[in-house]
C-alpha cells in the first residue's frame, strides 16, 4: 500500500517535471509543477505510513498508553502540511508572475522571454 | 544577552506590523523597517562581540520548551553570529540604499525585505533540516518579490526563471528530507551528523538529494542561468543582498550538510566548487555588462568558498579563518560593487569611466576589487596564504593550480575593468549624486578596511596594517587633498627617514638594494617636483610600491616577502596605469606579475610543507625531490619580474607608456625586485638538479638569450622610450647571466649591473622623458639636432650611453671587465658567446639614441624648444656625478659586497688594493683608465675642432637614399629605420614569437568563453534542464552514490 | 526535439535515483525515536489529542510560523505585482450577465455556514483532523463564493489586511510569551494544558490555531481578491 503510493508519487513527480519543462506555455508549466508537488506530498505521506495502524489522534479508540503501537508516524503528516502550504504560496506567486509577464509581452510562451542570456 | 530568537521574532513582528499601516504612510513604514533591521543588526553585532570576547558562550536556542531533536532548535556560535550580522547589516544598508525605491513600492516591499533577511538569518541559525527547507523557501519567495523592485522590465522574466528552477530544487530537497528522516528517525542536523554512517549507508541517495539541492541554492556554475539573469536585471541593492547575504547563508547550509556528509562529500564539494570557480571566471572574461560580470564573479567566489568548505579536512583549525576571510571579503567587495553600479548610468563596463573625477569612489572601487581578488592587506590575502599552504602540503597540486589559474583570470578581468574606468573617455552620464547611496558605499569601504585590520590581527603573521612602510603609504590617502609638491617632499623625507632608521639592519647586499630603492627612489622623486597640481592617486600608488620594496628587502620569512611582493606589484600597476596610453600595457604587466606571484606563492607553499610561517633561510634546508621544484617555481616567478625572455612582453609597453618620472621608477628600481628575489633564492638554495638538468645552467641560457634578443629588439625601435625599455630586458639578461654563473665574479657583476642599471636607466629615462616632453613626440626620427637646445640632457644621455655600452672609462666598463673575468672562470662557452655578441648590439641602439635625438639637423618645429625643466635635469646631473664617482672608486660600494659574497662563494674574490682591482686574469685601475681616456678624448676633440672649420654645411634633406626607395615622407629621414640593413639580416630574431604565443593563449581563452557562454540560452526551461543535468551528472560522477 | 530527448534522458536519470530510493526503502515496523517520543509524551506534555497538531503548532512551531509567513509573503507580493495594474473597475467595459438566482441565493444560505464551519475546524485543531490552515482555507472559500456571486462588489482590502496583520502579530507575541512564561519560544504551556480531549485544553494551541485560521483565511482572501481584480471585465 505504502509502496504503491510512493511509486505513484514518484511517477507524478516525473510526469510533472516533464510537463513543466517541455510545455512552453507558462500556465501549463505552473499546472505541471502543481502535479509534481502533489507527487512530492504523496511520497511524504507514504514514507510515514505504517501498515495496520491508525491516525495519530488520541481518543477513546487510541488511548495514550497504546499510542506507541497503534498510530502511524505523525511527523511526515506535519511536514506535508507545511509542504502543501509552501506549494500553494509558490503557485500563487508564479500565477501572479504569469499574469504580469503576459501583460508585458502579450504571450505566455516561456521561450519568448530570453532577453537576458549569456 | 537578549536571545537571538528575537532576530527572527522582531523581523516577523515588524513585517506583520507593516501590514497594519496604511499605504500612504510611507515614512512611518520605512522608519519601522529601518528600526527593525537596525535592531537585528545590533543584536547580531552584540552577539558577535560577546562571543569573540568570550563574555558569552555559544547558545542553543530551544523552541517549544522541548529538547531537540523533538523540537526545532537554533544555534548561534561565533561563525553563525558573524554571518547573521553580515546578513542583517547588508539588509540594513540595502534598505538605506533602496530608500527611494521603497518609498515608491510601499510597505509591502519593505515587509518582503524584512522577511528576506529574517529567512537568511534563519538558514544560518537553524539546526533542523526541515526548518532549513522552510527558511529556504521563504528566501526563494521573497527573492521572487524583491526582484520586482527593479525598474528593468527584463527582471520579471528573470524572476520567473528563478521560480521555475527553485521549484525543481524544492522537489528534490523535500524528497531527500523525508528519506533522510526515514533513515535516521530525526530531522535534527546534529542527530544526523551523529548518525552519519547509518545515513550515508542506508540513505545515501537521500543525502545526495538534499546536498545537491542546497548546492543548487548556491547558484553554482554551470547550473545557474537564472541566477545570472537576476544579477543582471535586479535592483543593484538587491543583487548585493543576493550575492553577499543569500550566498553566505546558503554557504552556511552547505557547511552544515558537510558535517553530516564527511570526507566523501567534502571531496564532491571541492570538485563542484573548483569547477565553479574556474568556469565562472572564464565565462566572465567574455562579459561586457557590469552586473552580469559581477554575477559571474559572485558565482566564482561562492564556488571558491564551497571549495574551501570541501577542504576543511586539511584546514583544521584555520578553517574558519580561511573560509571566513574569503567569504567576508567577497561579501563586502561584491555588495560594494553592486551598490557602486547603482550610481552608474550605463551598463557596459566602459560606462564606469563616469567615476573619473570622483577620487573617493575610485578608491572605493579599487578597495572592492582588491577585496575580491585577495590582495594585501585584505582578508582574502591572509586566507589565500593559509589555504594554498595547506593544500600544497597535502599534495593536492591539481586543485592548487586550478585555484591559482582561476584567481589569475579573475584578477585579469577585474583589473581590465578598472583600466577601462580610469583610462577610457569619461562616460557622459555622471554618477548619481544620492547621499544615501554614497554613504552606504562609504560604510562598505570602511567595513572592508576594518576586516583587513581584523584579519591581520587574527592571522599568525604580522599585521600588514601595522607595518610602518604600509601605513606611510596609506597615509597619503589621507593627505590627497594637499598639493603635489608638498606630498612629494613628504614622500622623499619618508624614504630617507626609513633608510636612516633601518640602516643598521642591512647586510651589505641588502644595503645596496636599500640604497637603490630608498635613496635612489628619493632622487627620482626629485623629478616629481616638476608636476604641479594635486596629482591625485600618484603618491598612494608610488608609496605603496616603495613600501612593498622596502619590506621586501627586510623580509625574513616567506609571508612578509610575499606580502611585500604583492604590494609592490599592485602599487606599480596603479602607477603604470597613469600613463596616457598605458591601459593595455598596465594590464599585461599586472597579469604577468600576478601570474609570477602565484608561482612564488606555490613555491613557498611547497617549501613550507604546511607550516604557514616559514623563514626564508629554510629554503636552504630543502632536499630532493622537492627542492628543484621550489627553485623552479620561485625562479620563474622572479624572472617574470626581471622580464626574462619569453616572459618579457609586458615590459616595453609598461615602461614606455608610463609617465616621465614613473618610467625611471619602474625601470631603474622595480626591476631590481626580481633580481633581489633571485639573489635571495641562489644564496639559500644554490645549484639545483632537475631531472639531470642544472637549473642555474638553464638560467644562464635564459640570461644570455635575454641579453641578446633584448638588445636586438631595442635596435629596431623608433620610439626612444621603447628602446630604453627593450634595453632593460637585455640588461636584466646580463644580470641574470651573471647570477646564474654561480661564481664569485658573476655575482659581483650582477650587483654591478644592479647599481649601474639603476643609475643610467633612470637617467636616460629622465632625459629622454624630458626631450619627449619638450618635443611632444617619442619617435626619434622626428627629433634631431637638439644638442644645442638641450645641452644638459645631451650630456646626461652621452654619459649614460657611455656607461651603458661598457666602454671605458665609465662604470659600465667595470661591469664588463668583471663580466669577462667571470666568463673566463666559468665553464660554459656557448652562452658566453651570446653575451659577447650582445655587447656590440647594445652599442648600435645607444649610438642611435644620441645620434638621432641630439645630432643632425634640427627640425623646424623644434627651433624654440628649451632645455628640459629644472626638476627633470637635477636628478640627471646627480646621476652624472654618481656615475663618474662610481667609475672612479667602484670599490667604495663593491668591496664590501665582494667580501660578503665570499661568505657564499669564497673562490675568486677580487683584490681591492688601493685604487687598483686585481683578478686572476689581470687588473683594472679605474683612475688611470679615466686619465688615459680623458687625454685621448681631449686630443681627438681638439683635432675635430681644428678639422671642423673646413666642414661644409648641407641642407636637411640633402642626403643619399643608398638604394632605398622612400614610401612615406618620414622615411626620407635618415633616422627612420636606421638599421634597415641589419634588420634585413637579423630581423627574424625580433619576430614577435612570444607576443604571438601569449596573445594566442588570451585569444583562446576569450573565444572559448564567448562560445561556451552561449549555453546560457536565456530560456527558463533550459536552465531548469541544466539543473537536472547537474544533478544527474554529479550523481553519475559520484559513482551512483 | 533535442531538448525533449535530453529532458527524457535526464528524467530517466532522476527516475533511477527515485527507484534507488524506493528499493532501499524498508517500512518501519515500529515508530522511530522521534515519533515514539511524540506518541508517548505529547498528551502529558502539551495536552493535545491530535499529535499532528501538537507537532505543527508547538514542537515544530517555528516551521509553522514560517509557513504562515510564506502565505503573508505571497499575499504581499501578489499585491505588489498586481497593485499597479489594478484599474478602476467601477465602470465595467461591458454589461455583465447576471450571476444567477441559484448562485446568489445559495451564497446567502451557505456563507454563514461555511464561516461557522471554518471557525469550528480551526478551533478544534488540537482534537480533530483539522486546524488553522484547513479552517482558513474554508473561510477563504466563503470569500470565493462571494466573489463569484457579486463580481462587482468591492471588498475592503483594509479589513482583510488588519485581520491578517493582527493575527500574525498575535502569533509572534504568543511565541515570545512562551519565552517569558514557559520553556521557550512558541511553548504552548503559557495557558493550562487542561484535560485531554476537551476544547479548552492543550494550552495555547487552540488560540494559536485560531489566529492561524484567521490569518490564512485573510491571506487567501486577499490573494483571491487581488487576482479577481485583475480580471478584465
> What are the residue ranges spanned by the domains of chain B?
467-941
Residues C102-108, mean pLDDT to the nearest whole number: 86
Q: Do B137 and C13 touch (CB under 8 A)?
A: no
Cα B886 from chain centre: 36
Q: Do A82 and C40 touch (CB under 8 A)?
A: no
**A111 min Cα distance to partner chain C (Å):** 12
List, for residues B458-469, the tens digit of each pLDDT value.
999 889 999 999
* Bridge partners for B916 per DSSP: B913
If one counts every other C-beta atom within 10 angstroms of the C-beta of residue C233, the result is: 14
Query: From B1028, which residue of chain C is nearest by alpha-carbon distance?
Result: C10
Q: Cβ distance B526 to B765 under 8 Å? A: no
Q: What is the DSSP letter of B659?
A: -
Q: Do B154 and A83 touch (CB under 8 A)?
A: no
Q: What is the DSSP letter of B693?
A: E
Closest CA to B448 of B312, B577, B558, B339: B339
Judging contacts by C-beta atoms under 8 Å, the chain C residues touching residue B169 are none
For C131, the grid coordinates are 486546524
SS (H, E, C) B403-462: HHHHHHHHHHHHHHHHHHHHHCCCCCCCCCCCHHHHHHHHHHHHHHHHHHHHHHHHCCCC
Q: Do C165 and B185 touch (CB under 8 A)?
A: no
Judging contacts by C-beta atoms under 8 Å, the chain C residues touching residue B205 are 17, 20-21, 24
Judging contacts by C-beta atoms under 8 Å, the chain B residues touching residue A36 are 167, 171
Q: Supply φ then ψ for residue B397, to 5 degrees.
A: -75, -30
pLDDT band at C132 (very low <50, low <70, confident <90, very high): confident
pLDDT band at B353 (very low <50, low <70, confident <90, very high): very high
Integer Cα distance of B941 and B988 in angstroms: 39
- Three-state SS for B629? helix
Q: B205 — contact with chain A (CB < 8 Å)?
A: no
Integer Cα distance of B805 and B842 in angstroms: 6
For B81, the grid coordinates are 553570529
Judging contacts by C-beta atoms under 8 Å, the chain C residues touching residue B105 are 80
Cα B102 from chain centre: 38
Helix extents (H) in B147-246: 154-184, 189-194, 196-202, 204-217, 225-233, 236-240
Q: B167 — contact with chain A (CB < 8 Å)?
A: yes
pLDDT band at B972 (very low <50, low <70, confident <90, very high): low
Integer Cα distance of B460 and B463 in angstroms: 9
For B401, the grid coordinates are 593550480
Tell me which residue has cell 637614399.
Answer: B961
Q: Number of A to C CB contacts under 8 A, please give it.
A: 139
Given a cut of 80, is residue B920 above it in pLDDT? no
Confidence (pLDDT) at B268: 92
**C91 min Cα distance to partner chain A (Å):** 21
Integer Cα distance of C80 and C72 in angstroms: 12
| Exposed/middle/buried for residue C42 (C-beta within 10 Å: 0-12, 13-18, 19+) | buried
**C92 min Cα distance to partner chain B (Å):** 25
Interior CA angle at B27 toward B26 and B29, to 5°?
65
Domain positions in chain C are 51-84+100-229
Closest CA to B434 of B349, B344, B331: B344
Regions in chain A scoring below 50 on pLDDT: none
Integer Cα distance of B189 and B72 in angstroms: 10
Confidence (pLDDT) at C93: 56
- Select from C11, C37, C61 the Cβ nearest to the Cβ of B64: C61
Q: C41 — contact with chain A (CB < 8 Å)?
A: no
The architecture that CATH gives domain A2-51+67-112 is Orthogonal Bundle (1.10)
Is B895 or B325 the better-scoring residue by pLDDT? B325
Lowest mean pLDDT among B163-177, B258-272, B430-444, C78-92: C78-92
Confidence (pLDDT) at B722: 93
Integer Cα distance of A33 and A30 in angstroms: 5
Lowest mean pLDDT among B251-255, B810-814, B869-873, C104-108: B810-814
Q: Cβ distance B668 to B758 under 8 Å? A: yes
- Select from C14, C19, C70 the Cβ nearest to the Cβ of A86: C70
Residues B975-982, mean pLDDT to the nearest whole number: 78
**B442 min Cα distance to partner chain C (Å):** 31
Given a cut of 60, is residue C85 above it in pLDDT? no
Closest CA to B527 of B584, B488, B472: B488
CA distances from B914 to B813, B889, B924 (A): 19, 10, 11
- Three-state SS for B203? coil
**C187 min Cα distance to partner chain A (Å):** 17
pLDDT band at B34 (very low <50, low <70, confident <90, very high): very high
Confidence (pLDDT) at B331: 95
**Sheet strand arrangement including B923-924:** B911-913, B916-918, B923-924
Given a cut of 70, is residue B953 above it in pLDDT? no
For B148, the grid coordinates are 520586482
For C207, the grid coordinates are 488560540
Question: Each residue of B754-764: b (16+ CB within 10 Å) or e?
Answer: bbbbbbbbbbb
| Exposed/middle/buried for residue C232 (C-beta within 10 Å: 0-12, 13-18, 19+) | exposed
pLDDT band at B788 (very low <50, low <70, confident <90, very high): confident
- Select from A17, A96, A99 the Cβ nearest to the Cβ of C77: A96
Q: C219 — contact with chain B (CB < 8 Å)?
A: no
Q: Number of A to B CB contacts under 8 A, please give it.
A: 115
Q: Do C7 and B1028 touch (CB under 8 A)?
A: yes
Domain positions in chain A are 2-51+67-112
- Three-state SS for B144? helix
* Bridge partners for A57 per DSSP: C50
* Bridge partners for B59 per DSSP: B76
- Select from A22, A43, A118 the Cβ nearest to the Cβ of B175: A43
Mutation target vs A (from C6, C34, C70; most A CBs, 10 A cutoff): C70
Q: B178 — contact with chain A (CB < 8 Å)?
A: yes
Q: Is cis: bond before B809, omega within 30 of 0?
A: yes
Residue B375 falls in which region: left (phi positive, over 0), alpha (psi -120 to 50) or beta: beta
Integer Cα distance of B476 and B571 in angstroms: 13
Q: pTM (2 decimals)? A: 0.93
Judging contacts by C-beta atoms under 8 Å, the chain A residues touching residue B140 are 90
Q: Do C22 and A7 touch (CB under 8 A)?
A: yes
Query: From C38, which residue of chain A is nearest by alpha-carbon distance?
Result: A74
Q: What is the DSSP letter of B533?
A: S
Integer Cα distance of B633 and B604 in angstroms: 9
List, for residues C165-218, the tens digit of each pLDDT value.
899 999 989 888 888 887 788 888 888 887 787 777 788 888 888 999 999 999
Q: Do C44 and A64 touch (CB under 8 A)?
A: yes
Q: Cβ distance B365 to B421 under 8 Å? A: yes
Which DSSP string corresponds to B266-316? HHHHHHHHHHHHHHHHHHHHT--BHHHHHHHHHHHHHHHHHHHHHTHHHHG
Q: C51 — contact with chain B (CB < 8 Å)?
A: no
**CB < 8 Å from B in window 102-141 of C:** none
Torsion of CA B138, B142, B144, B147, to 10 degrees: -150
Confidence (pLDDT) at B976: 75
- Select from B112, B208, B1036 the Cβ nearest to the Cβ of C77: B112
Integer Cα distance of C2 and B280 in angstroms: 26
Integer Cα distance of B600 and B677 in angstroms: 10
ipTM exceeding 0.85, yes/no: yes
Integer Cα distance of B601 and B589 in angstroms: 18
Closest CA to B800 of B755, B852, B846: B846
Query: From C79, which residue of chain A is nearest by alpha-carbon distance?
Result: A96
C35-43 contact pairs (CB < 8 A, 24+)? C35/A73, C35/A74, C35/A75, C35/B185, C36/A68, C37/B70, C38/A56, C38/A74, C38/A75, C38/B70, C39/A56, C39/A67, C39/A68, C39/A71, C39/A74, C40/A67, C40/A68, C41/B70, C42/A58, C43/A58, C43/A64, C43/A67, C43/C196
Q: Supply φ then ψ for residue B218, to 5 degrees.
A: -75, -10
Residues B346-353, mean pLDDT to the nearest whole number: 92
Q: B553 — contact with chain A (CB < 8 Å)?
A: no
Integer Cα distance of B780 and B958 in angstroms: 19
Q: Do A118 and B1014 touch (CB under 8 A)?
A: yes
Average pLDDT over chain B, rounded to an integer: 89
Q: Cβ distance C107 to C145 under 8 Å? A: yes
Cα B483 from chain centre: 29
Q: Cβ distance B244 to B372 under 8 Å? A: no
Q: C4 — contact with chain B (CB < 8 Å)?
A: no
* Bridge partners for B779 per DSSP: B719
Closest CA to B107 of C164, C80, C82: C80
B450-458 contact pairs (CB < 8 A, 24+)? B451/B328, B451/B329, B451/B332, B451/B371, B451/B378, B451/B379, B452/B377, B452/B378, B452/B379, B453/B377, B454/B379, B455/B321, B455/B325, B455/B378, B455/B379, B455/B382, B455/B383, B456/B377, B456/B382, B458/B321, B458/B382
Residues C88-99, mean pLDDT to the nearest whole number: 59
List, for residues C7-59, the tens digit of each pLDDT value.
999 999 999 999 988 888 888 888 888 888 888 888 888 888 888 888 888 88
Integer Cα distance of B930 and B479 in angstroms: 48
Chains sharing 3 or more CB pairs under 8 A with chain B: A, C
Judging contacts by C-beta atoms under 8 Å, the chain B residues touching residue A117 are 225, 229, 1016-1018
Q: Do C11 and B1028 touch (CB under 8 A)?
A: yes
For B931, the grid coordinates are 686619465
List, for residues B688-703, the tens digit of each pLDDT value.
888 888 888 899 999 9
Rg of chain B, C-alpha, whole Å: 32
For B845, the grid coordinates are 641602439
**A116 min Cα distance to partner chain B (Å):** 6
Q: Do A21 and B175 touch (CB under 8 A)?
A: no
Confidence (pLDDT) at C80: 83
Confidence (pLDDT) at B971: 56
Q: C72 — contact with chain B (CB < 8 Å)?
A: yes
- Select from A21, A71, A89 the Cβ nearest to the Cβ of C7: A21
Amino acid at each position: 500500500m505504502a509502496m504503491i503510493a510512493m511509486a505513484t508519487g514518484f511517477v507524478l513527480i516525473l510526469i510533472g517535471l516533464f510537463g513543466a519543462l517541455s510545455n512552453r506555455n507558462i500556465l501549463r508549466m505552473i499546472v505541471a509543477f502543481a502535479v509534481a508537488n502533489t507527487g512530492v506530498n504523496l511520497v511524504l505521506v507514504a514514507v510515514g505510513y505504517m501498515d495496520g495502524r491508525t491516525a495519530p489522534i488520541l481518543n477513546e479508540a487510541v488511548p495514550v498508553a497504546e499510542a506507541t503501537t497503534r498510530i502511524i508516524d505523525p511527523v511526515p503528516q506535519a511536514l506535508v502540511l507545511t509542504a502543501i502550504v509552501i506549494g500553494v504560496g509558490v503557485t500563487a506567486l508564479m500565477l501572479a508572475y504569469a499574469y504580469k509577464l503576459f501583460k508585458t509581452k502579450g504571450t505566455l510562451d516561456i521561450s519568448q522571454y530570453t532577453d537576458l542570456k549569456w | 544577552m537578549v536571545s537571538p530568537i528575537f532576530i527572527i521574532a522582531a523581523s516577523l513582528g515588524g513585517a506583520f506590523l507593516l501590514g497594519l499601516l496604511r499605504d500612504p504612510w510611507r515614512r512611518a513604514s520605512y522608519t519601522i523597517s529601518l528600526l527593525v533591521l537596525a535592531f537585528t543588526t545590533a543584536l547580531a553585532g552584540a552577539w558577535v562581540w560577546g562571543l569573540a570576547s568570550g563574555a558569552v558562550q555559544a547558545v542553543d536556542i530551544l523552541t517549544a520548551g522541548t529538547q531537540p531533536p523533538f523540537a526545532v532548535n537554533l544555534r548561534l556560535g561565533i561563525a553563525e553570529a558573524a554571518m547573521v550580522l553580515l546578513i542583517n547589516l547588508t539588509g540594513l544598508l540595502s534598505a538605506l540604499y533602496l530608500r527611494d525605491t521603497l518609498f515608491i513600492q510601499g510597505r509591502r516591499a519593505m515587509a518582503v525585505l524584512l522577511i528576506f533577511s529574517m529567512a537568511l538569518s534563519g538558514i544560518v541559525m537553524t539546526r533542523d533540516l526541515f526548518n532549513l527547507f522552510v527558511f529556504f523557501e521563504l528566501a526563494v519567495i521573497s527573492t521572487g518579490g524583491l526582484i520586482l523592485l527593479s525598474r528593468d522590465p527584463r527582471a520579471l522574466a528573470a524572476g520567473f526563471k528563478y521560480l521555475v528552477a527553485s521549484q525543481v530544487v524544492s522537489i528534490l530537497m523535500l524528497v531527500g528530507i523525508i528519506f533522510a528522516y526515514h533513515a535516521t528517525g530525526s530531522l535534527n542536523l546534529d542527530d544526523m551528523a551523529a548518525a552519519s554512517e547509518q545515513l550515508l549507508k542506508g540513505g545515501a541517495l537521500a543525502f545526495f538529494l538534499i546536498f545537491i539541492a542546497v548546492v543548487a541554492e548556491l547558484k553554482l556554475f554551470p547550473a545557474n542561468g537564472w541566477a545570472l539573469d537576476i544579477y543582471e536585471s535586479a535592483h543593484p541593492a538587491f543583487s548585493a543582498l543576493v550575492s553577499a547575504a543569500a550566498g553566505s547563508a546558503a554557504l552556511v547550509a552547505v557547511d552544515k550538510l558537510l558535517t553530516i556528509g564527511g570526507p566523501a562529500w567534502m571531496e564532491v564539494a571541492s570538485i563542484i566548487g573548483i569547477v565553479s570557480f574556474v568556469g565562472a571566471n572564464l565565462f566572465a572574461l567574455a562579459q561586457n555588462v557590469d552586473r552580469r560580470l559581477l554575477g559571474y564573479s559572485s558565482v566564482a567566489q561562492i564556488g571558491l568558498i564551497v571549495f574551501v568548505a570541501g577542504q576543511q579536512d586539511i584546514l583544521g583549525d584555520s578553517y574558519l579563518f580561511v573560509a571566513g576571510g574569503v567569504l567576508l571579503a567577497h561579501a563586502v567587495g561584491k555588495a560594494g560593487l553592486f551598490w557602486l553600479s547603482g550610481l552608474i548610468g550605463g551598463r557596459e563596463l566602459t560606462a564606469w569611466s563616469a567615476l573619473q573625477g570622483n577620487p573617493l569612489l575610485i578608491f572605493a572601487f579599487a578597495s572592492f576589487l582588491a577585496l575580491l581578488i585577495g590582495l594585501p592587506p585584505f582578508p582574502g590575502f591572509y586566507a589565500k596564504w593559509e589555504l594554498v599552504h595547506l593544500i600544497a602540503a597535502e599534495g593536492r597540486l591539481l586543485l592548487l593550480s586550478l585555484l591559482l589559474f582561476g584567481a589569475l583570470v579573475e584578477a585579469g578581468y577585474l583589473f581590465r575593468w578598472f583600466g577601462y574606468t580610469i583610462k577610457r573617455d569619461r562616460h557622459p552620464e555622471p554618477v548619481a549624486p544620492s547621499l544615501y547611496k554614497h554613504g552606504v558605499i562609504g560604510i562598505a569601504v570602511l567595513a572592508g578596511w576594518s576586516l583587513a585590520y581584523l584579519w591581520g590581527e587574527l592571522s599568525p603573521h604580522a599585521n600588514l596594517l601595522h607595518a610602518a612602510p604600509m601605513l606611510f603609504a596609506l597615509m597619503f590617502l589621507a593627505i590627497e587633498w594637499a598639493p603635489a609638491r608638498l606630498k612629494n617632499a613628504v614622500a622623499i623625507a619618508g624614504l630617507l627617514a626609513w633608510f636612516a632608521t633601518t640602516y643598521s639592519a642591512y647586510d651589505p647586499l641588502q644595503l645596496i638594494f636599500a640604497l637603490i630603492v630608498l635613496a635612489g627612489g628619493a632622487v627620482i622623486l626629485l623629478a616629481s617636483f616638476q608636476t604641479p597640481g594635486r596629482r591625485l592617486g600618484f603618491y598612494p600608488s608610488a608609496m605603496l610600491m616603495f613600501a612593498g620594496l622596502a619590506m621586501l628587502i627586510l623580509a625574513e620569512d616567506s609571508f612578509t616577502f610575499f606580502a611585500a611582493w604583492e604590494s609592490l606589484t599592485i602599487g606599480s600597476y596603479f602607477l603604470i596605469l597613469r600613463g596616457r596610453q598605458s591601459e593595455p600595457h598596465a594590464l599585461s604587466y599586472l597579469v604577468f606579475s600576478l601570474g609570477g606571484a602565484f608561482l612564488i606563492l606555490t613555491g613557498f607553499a611547497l617549501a613550507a610543507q604546511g607550516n604557514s610561517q616559514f623563514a626564508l633561510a629554510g629554503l636552504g634546508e630543502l632536499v630532493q625531490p622537492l627542492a628543484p621544484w621550489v627553485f623552479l617555481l620561485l625562479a620563474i616567478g622572479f624572472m617574470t619580474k626581471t622580464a626574462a625572455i619569453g616572459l618579457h612582453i609586458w615590459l616595453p609597453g609598461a615602461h614606455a607608456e608610463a609617465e616621465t618620472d614613473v618610467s625611471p621608477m619602474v625601470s631603474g628600481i622595480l626591476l631590481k625586485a626580481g633580481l633581489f628575489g633571485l639573489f635571495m633564492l641562489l644564496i639559500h638554495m644554490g645549484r639545483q638538479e632537475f631531472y639531470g638538468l642544472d637549473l642555474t645552467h638553464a638560467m644562464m641560457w635564459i640570461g644570455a638569450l635575454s641579453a641578446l634578443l633584448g638588445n636586438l629588439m631595442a635596435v629596431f625601435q623608433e620610439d626612444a622610450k621603447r628602446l630604453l625599455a627593450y634595453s632593460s630586458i637585455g640588461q636584466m639578461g646580463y644580470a641574470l647571466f651573471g647570477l646564474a654563473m654561480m661564481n664569485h665574479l658573476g655575482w659581483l657583476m650582477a650587483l654591478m649591473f644592479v647599481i649601474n642599471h639603476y643609475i643610467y636607466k633612470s637617467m636616460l629615462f629622465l632625459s629622454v622623458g624630458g626631450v619627449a616632453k619638450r618635443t611632444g613626440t617619442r619617435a626619434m626620427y622626428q627629433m634631431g639636432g637638439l644638442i644645442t637646445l638641450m645641452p644638459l640632457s645631451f650630456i646626461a644621455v652621452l654619459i649614460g650611453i657611455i656607461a651603458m655600452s661598457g666602454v671605458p672609462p665609465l662604470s659600465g666598463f667595470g661591469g664588463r671587465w668583471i663580466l669577462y673575468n667571470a666568463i673566463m672562470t666559468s665553464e660554459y662557452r656557448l652562452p658566453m658567446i651570446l653575451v659577447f655578441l650582445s655587447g656590440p648590439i647594445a652599442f648600435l641602439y645607444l649610438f642611435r639614441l644620441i645620434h638621432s635625438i641630439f645630432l643632425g639637423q634640427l627640425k623646424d618645429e623644434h627651433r624654440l624648444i628649451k632645455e628640459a625643466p629644472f626638476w627633470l635635469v637635477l636628478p640627471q646631473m646627480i646621476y652624472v656625478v654618481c656615475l663618474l664617482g662610481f667609475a672612479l672608486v667602484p670599490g667604495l660600494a663593491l668591496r664590501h659586497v665582494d667580501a660578503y659574497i665570499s661568505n657564499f662563494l669564497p673562490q675568486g674574490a677580487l683584490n681591492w688594493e688601493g685604487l687598483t682591482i686585481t683578478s686572476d686574469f689581470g687588473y683594472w685601475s679605474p683612475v688611470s683608465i679615466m686619465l688615459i681616456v680623458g687625454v685621448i678624448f681631449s686630443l681627438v676633440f681638439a683635432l675635430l675642432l681644428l678639422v671642423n672649420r673646413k666642414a661644409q654645411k648641407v641642407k636637411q634633406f640633402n642626403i643619399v637614399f643608398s638604394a632605398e626607395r622612400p614610401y612615406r615622407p618620414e622615411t626620407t629621414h635618415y633616422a627612420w629605420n636606421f638599421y634597415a640593413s641589419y634588420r634585413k639580416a637579423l630581423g627574424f630574431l625580433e619576430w614577435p614569437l612570444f607576443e604571438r604565443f601569449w596573445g594566442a593563449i588570451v585569444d583562446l581563452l576569450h573565444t572559448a568563453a564567448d562560445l561556451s557562454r552561449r549555453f546560457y540560452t536565456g530560456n527558463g526551461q533550459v536552465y531548469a534542464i541544466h539543473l537536472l543535468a547537474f544533478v544527474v551528472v554529479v550523481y553519475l560522477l559520484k559513482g551512483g552514490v | 526535439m533535442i531538448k525533449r530527448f535530453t529532458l527524457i534522458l535526464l528524467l530517466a536519470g532522476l527516475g533511477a535515483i527515485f527507484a534507488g530510493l524506493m528499493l532501499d526503502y524498508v517500512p518501519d515496523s515500529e515508530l522511530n525515536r522521534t515519533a515514539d517520543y511524540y506518541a508517548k509524551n505529547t498528551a502529558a506534555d502539551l495536552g493535545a489529542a491530535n499529535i499532528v497538531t501538537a507537532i505543527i503548532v508547538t514542537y515544530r512551531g517555528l516551521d509553522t510560523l514560517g509557513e504562515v509567513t510564506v502565505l503573508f509573503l505571497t499575499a504581499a507580493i501578489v499585491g505588489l505585482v498586481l497593485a499597479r495594474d489594478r484599474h478602476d473597475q467601477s465602470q465595467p467595459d461591458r454589461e455583465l450577465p447576471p450571476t444567477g438566482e441559484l448562485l446568489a441565493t445559495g451564497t446567502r444560505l451557505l456563507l454563514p455556514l461555511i464561516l461557522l464551519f471554518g471557525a469550528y475546524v480551526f478551533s478544534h485543531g488540537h482534537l480533530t483532523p483539522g486546524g488553522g490552515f484547513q479552517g482558513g482555507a474554508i473561510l477563504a472559500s466563503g470569500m470565493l463564493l462571494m466573489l463569484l456571486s457579486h463580481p462587482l462588489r468591492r471588498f475592503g482590502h483594509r479589513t482583510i489586511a488588519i485581520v491578517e496583520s493582527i493575527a500574525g502579530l498575535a502569533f509572534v507575541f504568543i511565541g515570545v510569551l512562551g519565552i517569558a512564561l514557559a520553556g521557550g519560544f512558541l511553548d504552548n504551556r503559557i495557558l493550562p494544558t487542561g484535560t485531554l480531549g476537551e476544547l479548552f485544553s492543550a494550552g495555547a494551541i487552540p488560540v494559536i490555531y485560531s489566529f492561524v485560521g484567521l490569518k490564512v483565511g485573510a491571506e487567501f482572501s486577499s490573494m483571491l481578491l487581488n487576482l479577481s481584480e485583475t480580471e478584465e471585465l
